[in-house]
Amino acid sequence: MNPTPRGRCRAHRGSLAALGAGYRQAVRPGLDTMIITREQVRSKLRDWRDGKISTEEIFEWAGSLYPNTECEYEDREGKESNSVTNEVLAALDMVNINLNIPEDAEIFLEFLSVPLGEFESACAFLHRRLNSIEYDLRRKTLCDNPLYAPFLSTNQR
């Protein structure tokens, strides 16, 4: 069984500090809301891909933002409030369960580049790319890593 990201694609504990520089804050009557942008998530993904931050750090960062009722996503669309940004944060919040590694950042970066209005086709793309990962090999490679090991049963190693 391959891991599946959670969220609307089946691809919020936050603080303003978790977003880092460049976050936008929208003010609603009586409520401050963080607006998370695709560019903020792209920046973190590039840092992860390039080895500037560890898998543990991107996992903690995503976990500080997803799920969070005080966050909104600049790319929400449609009646169901679909958001590519939300889907990526959901996946990164489960990076250990999904067995994602820095090379997977490219998949998420491509997903984030999909134009607004194409959420459903973007999700199909994401699933195809994630399903192309050699999870059996990845399980063997990650079995001794403390971040991933709790999610790998002994019969999967």
The whole-angstrom separation of Cα 83 and Cα 92 is: 14
Please state, as a whole number, how many other Cβ atoms lie within 10 Å of the Cβ of residue 149: 12
What residue ranges do the domains of the chain occupy?
16-152
Are 126 and 87 a contacting pair, CB within 8 Å?
A: yes
Q: Summarize pLDDT for 110-132 with one digit per residue, the tens.
A: 999 999 999 999 999 999 999 99
> pLDDT at residue 19 above 70?
no
Residues 6+ apart with CB under 8 A from 81: none
The whole-angstrom separation of Cα 129 and Cα 134 is: 11
Mean pLDDT across the chain:
82
Higher-pLDDT residue of 23, 35: 35
Averaged pLDDT for residues 69-87: 84
pTM over the 0.85 mark: no
For the four alpha carbons of 109, 103, 122 and 22, in that order, the dihedral sign comes to negative
Per-residue model confidence (pLDDT) at position 7: 52
